[in-house]
């Protein structure tokens, strides 16, 4: 069983299951214009950076944001966390 689904041109998105270790911060450069990320916590609380500030995501919560700006993820807890990351690309 796969944990990730790479970009599929037919559907215009890709899906990842991401693990962030305790204390880990990952910052991404902006994607192309029109890209939206959907982030859903599978286990644990963590923070997502978008629109120039950090937002807390609780376990089993989700959020989406325009990802054509700087964005990132960080785990301030003492245990690993897992989340789904669905990246949706604007279809032309």
Report the CATH number that the domain containing residue 35 is assigned in CATH. Answer: 2.60.120.10
pTM: 0.89
Return the H-helix or E-strand segment holding 26. Answer: strand 25-28
| Whole-number pLDDT of residue 1 | 45
* Domain count for the chain: 1
pLDDT one digit per residue (tens) for the chain, 92 residues: 457 888 988 889 999 999 999 999 999 999 999 999 999 999 999 999 999 999 999 999 999 999 999 999 999 999 999 999 999 998 76
**Domain interval for residue 29:** 5-88
Q: What is the CA radius of gyration of the chain?
A: 13
């Amino acid at each position: 069983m796969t944990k990730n689904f790479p970009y599929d041109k037919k559907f215009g998105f890709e899906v990842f299951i991401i693990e962030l270790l305790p204390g880990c911060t990952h910052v991404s450069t902006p994607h192309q214009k029109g890209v939206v990320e959907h982030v859903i916590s599978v286990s644990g609380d963590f923070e997502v950076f978008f629109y120039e500030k950090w937002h807390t995501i609780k376990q089993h919560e989700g959020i989406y944001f325009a990802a054509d700006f700087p964005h990132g993820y960080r785990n301030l807890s003492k245990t690993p966390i897992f989340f789904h990351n669905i990246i949706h690309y604007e279809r032309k």
